[in-house]
Structure 1
Amino acid sequence: MEQEHARPWHALLVEEVASRLDTGALGLRQATAKSRLARYGPNQLAEAPPTSALARLLHQFKSPLIYILLAAFAVTLLLGKTIDAGAIAAILVINAAIGFTQERRAEVSVRALTRLVSPRTRVIRDGHEWEVESRELVPGDLVLLESGTRVPADLRLVAATTLTVDESLLTGESASVHKQAGAVAEDAPLPDREDMAYTGTVVSSGRGRGYVVATGARTELGEIAGSIRGEAAAATPLQERMRRFARVVGLVVGGSSALGFLIGVVRGESTSDMFMLAVALAVAAVPEGLPVVLTITLALGVARMARRRAVIRRLPAIETLGSTTVIGSDKTGTLTENRMTVQELWAGGRFFSLSNEALLEDPRARPVEGAQDLAEHPPLYLLLLTGVLANEADVFQTERGQVTRGDPTEAALLLAGERLGLAHEALRGHWTSDAEIPFEPERQYSASLRSRDGRRALFLKGAPERVLAMSTAQLGEAGLEPLDAEAAHAAAAALAGRGLRMLAMAYRPLEEAPARPDAVEGPEGLTFLGLTGMMDPPREGVREAIARCQDAGIRVVMVTGDHVATARAIGRELGLTSDGAALTGTELAALDDAALLGRALEVDLYARVTPEQKLRVVRALQAGGEVVAVTGDGVNDAPALKAADIGVAMGRGGTDVAREASDMVLADDNFVSIAAAVEEGRVTFDNLRKVTFFLVSTGAAAVITLLSALTLGWPLPLLPAQLLWLNLVTNGLQDVALAFEPADPGVMARAPRPRREGFLSGLLWERTVVAGVVMAAGTLGVFHWELARTDSLPDARTAALTTMVLFQMFQVGNARSETQSVFARSPFSNPFLFWATAAALAVHVGALYFAPTQFVLRVVPLTDGGSWLRIVLVAASIIVAMELHKLLRRPSARDAPAAREGRG
């Protein structure tokens, strides 16, 4: 029964398949099916088990910054500083709770999206037709197929009647594939295996039956799913930045603590006091609030994306799109609507346009807008009439809108006729069917023999070459005329050059009905009517979304299994390319990895590629330093979705395998949402950067303050409890509020951030040092002034602490924009930040006059109005310093607005 070390199923005759599977025309016996189900298991892909609560909880403590917090907690606990240790422990618990909750919500959302009703399948067992759950199918089952059904397992067809299957989810081709039962060559590629029907594909029209040859993980879909699970998920740019940032913070913590300890010991201070100083420096250097704010900022991005019909499966993914430099998109169903539409017509020697406005530049062409145009042009009317009558599809209205049934190509002809006033139901009622000739690949045409009021005619459609070969005349503006095959071929070449799929139409009046339906086989003497050009049209708004991405410095690359001419036409229409440069799967296969890397950085269109080749393209782009996002909905997209920096799957029309491989799922299957996702990602990262700059600059100020005081031989201006107060209470409200900051102007008009750039750019690190020095100098100045004036260390420390609190209040305004002046942004554009800043100041002032907090923080009330005035004026100096730095040190040209040049 197994096919190991034997010829593949598609190369075997039907009798050989039945023999190997030990089955036949009566199907399996129920008892046999039951035993095989126990042997092979259910016909379903193994679903990744949900993450356990314990594993999700432990995952919250794997962040590099959390390691630093854990180390700080251990040090403070060992030194007996229970208040400090308790504060750090509270941060760890809050961060874990927020991360745990958000990740659980995201996982539940995706599982709800991917939960599908269990499908059922018609099979022959014990010689009778049964309906069973698809998961109960086993090798050897005889499955019945009909129009509209989803193929439940890999089948070797044993019968096919005008059977066509939509394999776009597996191969990427938008046109349905005609199937037959005869064996094909052993080395035939998957798209050419006409005697096979694969799991997940959909029957477009006709009927068929086939033996199940593979189920579950053994199917083509299952093998792809298995290869996906073998792919290691790449670290996101955000995770890489977090690791690098944590290493920097760790070095600063260790270095500043060791430096302070050594300076103190050299100056003759006691070892115990220097241990206390080391703790103070560690507390000052570690941005304790950053893990919490990081999670909150990402969670806010997730919430915003959810409102735009996108489900984020992993929190860091929301930022990755903001760093993306290349988006590799599938064509069918992602950039296009995955439905054929008549775009152009050629009849009577003239082109007519239904959708393609560019065609109207041809002086021979004109738009067709209604039935009145058909009355003026008999060849065009008969062309459309033939498309309606030589047709087995159906179009009807339901409460949910218009529904098409049958082959997408034939449905497109019906819709074109309906648009121009040819109601197919009425016409079929007038022209009754006498005989039908179904389409077969070897025949290359289909036909319908119709009668009306004593008149009979044969209406035929098919491949242009075949129809022209059967025609002896053509219908022109003035009536019948000799066939001009050269003009017809030229028109066909023009349509093909625009990436359109073509059908030719012809008809022949008959004196009487044939005695038998097969008497009309091989008709000759036809009157050629013209050509129809069809295309799977782009989704509404996709061109604008692509242009927006390109303006943001992001290349949009189409990777499709469809024909190169179709890819070029769609690429030009969407503005992906102006010169039509494309790389085909055959050309790609001839390139080694180094050569592909060079081409991948230049080519924006890939056609006729296999899933393995799509994966090669993604890896080549990544090797070139690109941050790659891959969008798609089909099984063929899934390996690339997994390997990419971020995979974006379609939630409505896509496969479970694609969704499982992705980081983000678009619930509305709309590529237009990608541009919005890029913007949200950039806003999210900008806010992470603002929070980081704010926390690091204030932490740097505290470290510089303590080290400077120690070097000068002064008492510590700030105690460990006061540093925790700064980090966890006063700026703890403001850093969270920065996560709600609205987008900066021009966020979508600048180049993406380089992959290796950290949370803070070189410019912001420079600004951090400037801010730290200014705030430290101001705090030390106030401390020294108050100590000399009052000769009271608690008074001086209270003044220094209050100065640092006010410095933070002004610095949070500076952090709202990397380039804009603090005076250019209304304080009320982020009301949460405004009130958080006011609340932080009120909490601190209240603590100065509340006995319990006075005891814990070792502060005293500030009763001198002159002290308050000096503190406010000194703290305001940070605004002057930052405004000067923004003016003198503007961002580099890379960060300036950068629209992509050469967009077609």
Structure 2
Amino acid sequence: MRNRTAATDTRTGRSASAPPWHALPADEVRARLSTSDTGLTDAEAEARLVRIGPNEIPEEPPPGLLILLLRQFRSPLSYILFAALAISLLIGETVDAIVIAFALLLDATIGLYQERQAETSLRALRQLSAPHSRVIRDGIERDVPSRELVPGDVVLLESGTRVPADLRLTTTTSLLVDESLLTGESVPVTKHPNPVPETAPLGDRSSLAFSGTVVVSGRGRGYVVATGINTELGAIASAMREAEDTETPLQQRVARLARSLALYTAVTAAATVAIGIAQGQEAVDMLLVAVALAVAAVPEGLPVGLTITLATGVRRMARRNAIIRHLPAAETLGSTTVIGSDKTGTLTENRMTVRRVWSGGQSVVPGTTPTPSPESNSVRPGDPVYDTLLIGVLTNEAAVYPTGDGYRVTGDPTEAALLIAAHRAGLEPEGLRARYPSIDEVPFEAERRFSASLRRTDDGYLLAVKGAPERILPLCDRMRHGESVVPLDPAAVQETVDDMARDGMRVLAMAYRQFDRPPEDTAATVEAGGLIFAGLQGMIDPPRPGVREAIERCHRSGIRVLMITGDHAVTAAAIARDLGIAGDDVRVLTSEDLAAMDTDALRSAVAEVPVYARVTPQDKLRIVTALQERGEVVAVTGDGVNDGPALRAADIGVAMGRSGTDVAREAADMVLADDNFVTIYAAVEEGRTAFDNVRKVTLFLVATNVAEVVAVVAAVAAGWPLPLLAAQILWLNLATEGLQDIALAFEPPEGDVLDRKPLPRSEPILSRVLWERVAIAGLLAAIGTLLLFRWELDNSGSLTAARSVALTTLVIVEAFQVFNVRALWRSSFRVDPRSNPFLLFATLGGVALHVIALYLPPTQYLLRLEPISLEAWVRIVLIGVMVLLAVEVHKRLRRVSR
């Protein structure tokens, strides 16, 4: 529990076993802090500032450019290329060394660009602190910089101010605080100075005001009990710092692929060199073979291909209002198995809305259109429902201004909802307020649990009252029923209240009393009773349009949707039922339930429970971790500071672009420009398309690399000259096929992407079936290359000509193979070539580039090439056709078995 006095006992000398601040009476808090109502002296405040430190959250410096650059070379594939570079320099192959160094530099530049996403989450947290605060020191009210606040300071709060530190409140007047950035609760919280139970969750600690939250209305005073890193805001900063950035599933799959290729290269190179030496080959020649194998085994174009593929997915998502901050996240959403969604603002509209108005047996659902709809929603003066709406207008300090597409609201969201409900039912709130001028107001107080307004009418005075039903009903002895006033039926009213509460609504009761002369004491008159019960208004933050359908589609796609919210359990359960997240017997776990669970129990619970309510930031982080430990790929949405640690720890954090805080946006991998859950589902389709294209790029590159390695190994084993030099292999990998793997990034989605189940974390980029396809294409290409190499060598006697034919064979096989990989399961002949014109041009361009290299003197020198005959070209094209048809046969057989 973050605000336990033990948290700073070494600095303040308080007992480590003392209760938390919210459970202590104000007098005991004052004594433990060694302060008074007149505040600290300047000398004591300065001494405490030296001892405790400033009221700010320290930043960690970002890693330097050199550190980021060195990180790019940690891949096993980079180690292989470094070894090849060193060997090339050792044996004097300068051209090969230069080309290998260029490939390394290109990959590092791309990786460095990706990692230059500065971590500014903690800076955003600091910006939530108020720059100045109103305090009392030496009995004098003054402004001081918020960073100079210390425990024991007396801080004054008023409407519109941001709370500068964690405060134990001592006095309040109608104090409402918006804590949504910490708790996720959409309704401002009423604060009071009375102690609350020690076990109260964060959202129910009404005697505390937390750093970073905002005063909506009212005034208050309190003692500073925690500053800087010791506040609830600081606890979140610490959790974000401790939460490690998780590798995305794609990063894990690429790392596994890189390790496999590195092992495969090392074993193959060692075995091939050993065979050559055993055959009597020169050691220098075998080192040249090792370099060729290292270069052949490493798909140098893979980092570029992956980056372009993911960047293309990012652009597609941006067109659908999903802004990706980190490239690997573009694919992660397609692999997601669980979406843990915040309720307020994501699943719901983040505004309180009156869903039901009830009076004396008559029930009305206010219109949902932005403007009044008299045909279906208007009510007549004198109707009980009209009077219920009128009382909500008169006992109200908010203001609502209709706009073209909705309303602009100022003031308390609950009171604004009452005004909008009246407006939609045909009432004119501002006109009614002017018609019934205010004589006296009784503001809402936590102790009273009601507010009242005394108004002058045409024939006397009207006392309008609204408040909690359990507070208002005992003050009433009559009720409206139709056009009549009848004795109160408490059971009927309570049954309606219970029905509304079960539906997750916040319920307010409306009552009134008429007078010929104004009473002397309005508050005392209300407390005396004798009121007429007018009716009830039930309100809720309603679900967003389209969210229910998006959740249904997620379920069909194999994605579980969980609700993780700081709101109350009853409200969360009602929204979950309404959206189809859970059924009628929905099970909800609260923060207290989670605190009683150990790691194993929580790991079991997250597999079944769909709704979590009143959760703290630490709870949300535990839920995410438990899901990941079960092997789930977890996406988490959030908009508040409280969501920061979970957003950072999740496989993909999704923040709100409109309503989200800077902290949430900076901690997230993806930002929703429209704050809508429906956008997440749209991004899932793009994420799955991105992963498909990553697979296609990898399949294309690895198949070519296998052909190169097999050709080199087989030639050495047969005692033949090397069919390909290292520089030629790099030319093939970076220049000719480099254009095609980039073009594959623009492949449109295949028709069944949303009908598949998410891939498990253990699923590699290349599945067993795709490795079969790699083997078929690679072996056939290698055999064809060796046959044509030997044919040319025997007939022309020129090793340069033979190598030119071998290299050209692989270039043409690539041109056929790239069309093979466009469809992972369907026949390539069923894919419209016009759906990706860039690929067609890239393929023709790659072939043209190679033809130019065969005839251009500089490239002839660098790559050791020469032109080839027309007969050789015919034989090469036949090899390409053979590979294409063989892969098509494999697809056909595998489709049948699938």
Instruction: With the length of structure 1 as denominator, give the TM-score of the two structures.
Output: 0.91
Measured after TM superposition, the shift of residue 24 of structure 1 is 4.2
* Cα shift readout 1:743-767 (whole Å, capped 9, x = no counterpart): 3323233211110112211111111
Where 1:93 maps in the other structure, the secondary structure is helix
Q: Relative to 1, partners in 2 of residues 1:639 and 1:858: Cα closer, same or farther, differing over 3 Å?
A: closer
- Kindly state the Cα deviation for residue 580 of structure 1 after the two structures are TM-superposed: 4.2
Give the alignment partner of residue 155 of structure 1, picking from 151, 154, 167.
Answer: 167
Q: How does 1:83-102 map to 2 (within 5 A)?
A: 83-102=95-114
Q: Which residue of 1 aligns with 2:5?
A: none
* Partners of 2:709 and 2:546 in 1: CA distance: 52
SS at match of 2:895: coil
The AA in structure 2 aligned to 1:515 is E
Which of these residues, 118, 121, 143, is aligned with residue 107 of structure 1? 118
Question: Do the aligned partners of 2:655 and 2:664 also contact (CA within 8 Å) in 1?
Answer: yes
CA 1:370–1:416 in 2, change beyond 3 Å: closer, same or farther? farther
Is 1:694 the equivalent of 2:700? Answer: yes
2:725 is matched with 719
Label 1:400 to 1:748 Cα distance change in 2 as closer, same or farther (>3 A): closer
Would you say 1:67 and 2:79 are equivalent positions?
Answer: yes
After the TM superposition, which residues 537-686 of structure 1 pair with which residues of structure 2 at under 5 Å, given as runs?
537-585=542-590, 586-666=592-672, 668-686=674-692
| Superposed displacement of residue 879, structure 1 | 1.7
Amino acid at match of 1:432: P
Indicate the residue corresponding to 1:274 in structure 2.
Answer: 286
Query: Do the aligned partners of residues 128 and 234 (structure 1) sit closer, same or farther apart at CA in structure 2, a change above 3 Å counting?
Result: same
Question: Hey, what's the Cα distance between the residues in 2 that align with 1:397 and 1:25?
Answer: 45
> Aligned partners of 2:373, 2:474: CA distance in 1, in Å?
28
In the TM superposition, what are the counterparts of 1:141-540 in structure 2 within 5 Å?
Answer: 141-305=153-317, 312-354=324-366, 373-375=378-380, 378-396=383-401, 402-540=407-545
Say if 2:888 is the partner of 1:883: yes
Matches within 5 A, 1:825-904: 825-862=831-868, 864-890=869-895
What is the deviation of 1:636?
A: 2.9
Q: Match of 2:501, as an amino acid?
A: A
Task: Select which of 777, 780, 783 maps to 2:786.
Answer: 780
Residue of structure 2 equivalent to 1:902: none
Deviation per residue, 1:334-390 (Å, 9 max, x gap)? 322332110111123022112689xxxxxxxxx985697311870110010011112
CA contact (8 A) 2:362 2:385 kept: no
CA contact (8 A) 2:56 2:126 kept: no
Which residue is equivalent to 1:761?
Answer: 767
| Rounded Cα–Cα distance in structure 2 between residues aligned with 1:891 and 1:641 | 42
1:269 partner amino acid: Q
Offset at residue 206 of structure 1 (A): 1.8
- How far apart, in 1, do the equivalents of 2:615 and 2:192 lie? 24
Give the deviation of 1:20 after TM superposition. Answer: 4.5
Q: CA RMSD in A?
A: 3.0
1:311 positional shift: 5.2
Looking at structure 1, the residues matched to 560 and 84 of structure 2 have their Cα atoms a distance apart, in angstroms, of 44
Q: 1:66 to 1:717 in 2, by over 3 A?
A: closer
Q: Is the 8 A contact 2:475 2:526 kept in 1?
A: no
SS of the residue 1:889 aligns to: helix
Aligned match of 2:818 = 812
Change (3 A) 1:543 1:369: farther
TM-score by length of structure 2 reads: 0.91
Instruction: Give me the whole-angstrom Cα distance separating, in 1, the residues matched to 2:215 and 2:377.
Output: 37
Change (3 A) 1:518 1:283: closer
**Could you report, residue by residue, the CA deviation over 1:395-427 in whole angstroms, capped at 9, with x for unpaired residues?**
246999843233221111111112222222221
Cα distance in 2 between the residues matched to 1:326 and 1:349: 44
SS for the counterpart of 1:649 is strand
Residues 1:671 and 1:47: Cα distance change in structure 2 (over 3 Å): farther
Q: Which amino acid aligns with 2:649?
A: A
More displaced stretch, 308-317 vs 551-560:
308-317
After TM superposition, give the deviation of residue 328 of structure 1 in Å. Answer: 0.8
Contact map agreement 1:29 1:125 (CA 8 A) in 2 = no
Per-residue CA deviations over 1:91-131 (Å, capped at 9, x if unaligned) read 11122222223432x33898998895974445134555545
Partner deviation per Cα, 1:299-356 (whole Å, 9 max, x = no partner)? 4444555565555454433322221110111212332233211011112302211268
Letter in 1 for 2:562: V
| SS of structure 2 residue aligned to 1:740 | coil
* 2:654–2:671 CA contact under 8 A, matched in 1: yes
Alpha-carbon distance in structure 1 between the residues aligned to 2:204 and 2:867: 85
What amino acid does structure 2 have at the position aligned with 1:286? V
Q: Distance in 1 between matches of 2:126 and 2:373?
A: 44
1:55 aligns with 2:67: yes
Give 1:624 deviation, angstroms.
Answer: 1.9
Q: Quick one: which amino acid aligns to residue 749 of structure 2?
A: A
- Partners of 1:332 and 1:3 lie apart in 2 by 39
Q: Report whether the alignment pairs 1:123 with 2:128.
A: no
For 2:124 and 2:153, the matched residues in 1 are separated by: 31
Contact 1:110 1:313 in 2 (8 A): no
Counterpart amino acid of 1:700? V
Unaligned ranges ≥5, structure 2: 1-11
Structure-2 change in CA distance of 1:614 and 1:528 (3 Å): same
User: Partner amino acid for 1:641?
Assistant: L
Q: Indicate conservation of the 8 Å contact 1:68/1:250, yes or no.
A: yes
Deviation of 1:33 (Å): 5.1
Select between 14-23 and 796-805 the one with higher mean Cα deviation.
14-23
Relative to 1, partners in 2 of residues 1:891 and 1:57: Cα closer, same or farther, differing over 3 Å?
farther
How many residues matched? 882
Shift, 1:703, TM fit: 1.6
CA pair 859-343 structure 1, distance change in 2 beyond 3 A: same
CA deviations on 1:244-283 (whole Å, 9 max, x unpaired) are 1111101221122123223333444333333322222222
Q: CA deviation at 1:880?
A: 1.0
8 Å contact from structure 1 (residues 508, 527) kept in 2 = yes
Amino acid paired to 2:850: H
Q: Contact 2:748–2:835 (CA<8 Å) still a contact in 1? A: yes
Residues 493 and 39 of structure 1: is their aligned pair in 2 closer, same or farther, counting only changes over 3 Å? same
Q: Distance in 2 between matches of 1:615 and 1:119?
A: 27
